[in-house]
A and B are shown apart, each in its own frame.
Chain A
Amino acid sequence: MLVYVAKRLAQLVVIVFVISVLAFLLVHLLPGDPTLTILGPNDTPQARAQLLQQLGLNKSLLQQYWTWLTNVLHGNLGESFITHQTVTNAVATAIPIDIELIILSQLMALVVAIPLALFAALRPNGKLDRVANSGSFAMLSIPTFVAAVILVLVFAVELHWVPATGFNRLSQGLGPNLKSAVLPSVALALGSVVIYFRLLRTDLIATLQEDFVTMARSKGLSTRYILLRHALRPSSFSLLAGAGISIGSLLTGTFVVEYLMQLDGLGFQLVNAINQRDYLMVQGFALVIAVFYVLINFVVDFVLTLLDPRVRRA
C-alpha cells in the first residue's frame, strides 16, 4: 500500500513538473509580443528595453523558467499588467466560488443519482428503469452551455425566482449565498447526475446477480438492507472512477456557467484574462487550474485504492 502511494506520489510530482513547464511555455513560445500590449502607444526603444529588463524577458528561456518557478513556489504568480492586481490575490478570491459550486453540484448529483440508480437497478428493464435510462441518455446529450442558458431563461428571466447574474459570497449571509449559487450548481449537477446514475446502475445490476446477494436474500434480509449494506459499496467503484473522468467536463461546465452568470470564479477570470491578453494572469490561472485538476484526479485515485484493494495489485 505504502509503496503504491509512494509510486503515485512520484508520478504526481513528475506530472506537476511537466504542467509547470507547459504552462510556462504556453505563454512564452506563442506568437504575440506581450510588450506590445503593455506599452501600447508608449512604445519607444528605451521603454521597451526597460520593460524587457523589468520582466526578465531578455534572459535565456531556462533562466526565465527558473526565476518563474522559484517565484511560483513562493506563492508569487506575478502581477496583472492591466489591473495591477497580483495573480495570487485574484486566484484567492476566485477559488472559494469554484469550490462551493463544485461541492454543491456534486452533492446534488449524488443525492439524486444514488436513490434513482438503486430503484432502477432493483427492477432492470422495469418501467422506472427504462424511463430513467433513456431519459439519462438524452440528458447526456445536453451540453452545459445549453442547459445553463435554458435554466436562466426559465428560472431567472421568466419566473424571477433567482438572480440571473452575480454571486453573493458566504460572508454576505447563507441565504443570499445559496440563492445565487443554486442555479449554477443545478446547471453543473445536471451533467454529473447522468454520468453517476448510468455508472452506478450498470454496476448495481451486475452486483445484484452475484451469489452473495442471493445468499443474503435467502437468509430473509430485506431488500432495502441488501441494497444499502451489501450491494452499494462494491458497486460504487466505477462511480468513483467516473467522478475522476467527469472532472474534465465539470471544468468546462464551471467555465460556461461562470461566464454566463458572471460569477467571479477561476473560469470567468481566465476568460477575461484571455480576452484582454493579460498573459501573466492567463499563465497563473492555467497553472492553478491544471494543478487543481491533477490533484483532484490524484485524490479520486487514492480513495479508489482505499476502497478497492484490487486496484493496488493491478
Chain B
Amino acid sequence: MPEGHPVPVLPPIERASVAAPGAELIAEPAESRAKRRTKYGVLFWVCVGIVGAMILLAVLASVLPIQSPTSLDYQAVNSGPSLHHLLGTDDLGRDLLSRIIYGSRVSLIIGFGSVGIGLLFGGSAGMLAAFRGRGTDGVLNALSFVLLAFPPILAIMVIEAFWGKTLLKLTLLFALVATPQLFRVVRANTLSFANREFITAARSMGATTNRILFKELLPNVLPSAVSFALIGVAIAIVVEGSLAFLGLSISLPTASLGNIINEGAQLYNLQANPYPVLFPSLYIFLLIVSLNLIGDRLRASYDTREAKL
C-alpha cells in the first residue's frame, strides 16, 4: 500500500455489547502488522494457504509429475483412488487429479482475470465518477444501471454462444459483467471519503486532482474494494462453473471444474462412479469457502459501515 496521507481515525462507533463477527475491528486505529496477523485469526491464514496452493498447482500443472488430463487409460476406467491414479479416473480412464488441476486453471484465470480487469476499469470509473460528480457521475451511473439491469448469466450465455468460447473471450465477458458491480462499490466508497476533511484540506493546500485521487483517495478506497473483489472472484468462479456445467463454458475436451462435474453427473456415470463428481465438488467448495472467508475477514477489518447511498 502506498504511503499516502495517514489513514484518518474513523469516527467512534458505538460498540454494541454483541456485534457481528469482526465488527469489533472497525473502530480500531491502525496497528502493527504483527498484531494484525493474529487479529485475522488462524483460519484466515489457512484459507490464504489453500488458495495459494491451488494457484501454485494450477500454474505449475505442466511441470508437475501428473498425467495428461486427456490421456485415456483403458486399463483403469472408472477406478477409485489408487496409487497410480491418486483420485481415481473417470469413465474414459482419464486421471481425475490431473483433470482437476488443469480444470482449475480455467476457473482461476476467468475468476481472477475478469475481476482484475473489472476492478481496474470499474474501479477507476467509480472513483472518477464519485470525485467529479455532476455530469460524469450521472452518465456513468446511468450506464452502470443499464448494464446491471440485464441478468449477468443470461448475457454471458447468449453472447458467448454466438461469439465463441475461448478463454480470452470468456474472461472479457465476465469482466464486462463485473465492471458495473465494482464500479458501484468503489463509487459508493469514494463518495463516503470525497467530502471528508482531509480531502478538503488537501484541496485547500492546492493539491492536484491526480494527487488527490491517487495519494489521498486510492489508499482509502483500495482495501475495501479488494476485499469485495475477492468475493467477486468467488462469484465469478461459481458462475463459470455453472456455465461449464451447462456445457456453455470453455469448449471440450479442455477440462474445467464445471464440465468434469457435468460429465460425472450423467446418470449412467453417476450410478457407476461418484468420484468424478465428489472430488471436483470438494475442490470448488474449498476454493470458494476460502475466498469468501478471506474477503469477509478483510472487509470486516477495513469497511466502515457503509452509509446507504
Contact = CB atoms under 8 A, between A and B. Distances in A.
Contacts of A30: 159, 162-163
A121 to B, nearest CB: 10
B2 to A, nearest CB: 33
A259 B245 contact: yes
A271 interface: yes
Interface in A245-293: 248, 251-252, 255-256, 259-260, 270-271, 274-275, 277, 279, 282, 286, 289-290, 293
Given A27-B162, A289-B154, A143 B238 contact: yes
B154 A290 contact: yes
Query: For chain A, what secondary structure do more than half of its interface residues adopt (helix, strand, loop), or is it mixed?
Result: helix
Contact of A31 (B162, B261, B265, B288): B162
Interface in B138-164: 145-146, 149-155, 157-159, 161-163
A15 interface: yes
A119 B292 CA distance: 25
Interface stretch (A1-9, A85-93, A147-155): A147-155
B277 interface: yes
A145 B261 contact: yes
Contacts of A289: 151, 154
Interface stretch (A57-65, A106-114, A133-141, A182-190): A133-141
Interface string B1-37: 0000000000000001110110000000000000000
A215 to B, nearest CB: 17
Interface in A133-184: 133, 137-138, 140-146, 149-150, 152-153, 157, 164-165
Interface of B: 16-18, 20-21, 145-146, 149-155, 157-159, 161-163, 234, 238-239, 241-242, 245-248, 258, 261-262, 264-265, 267, 270-271, 274, 277-278, 281, 284-285, 288-289, 292-293, 296, 308
20 contacts: A22-B150, A26-B162, A30-B163, A140-B289, A145-B242, A149-B265, A149-B270, A150-B277, A153-B270, A164-B267, A209-B16, A251-B151, A252-B153, A252-B239, A256-B242, A259-B245, A271-B248, A282-B161, A286-B154, A314-B308
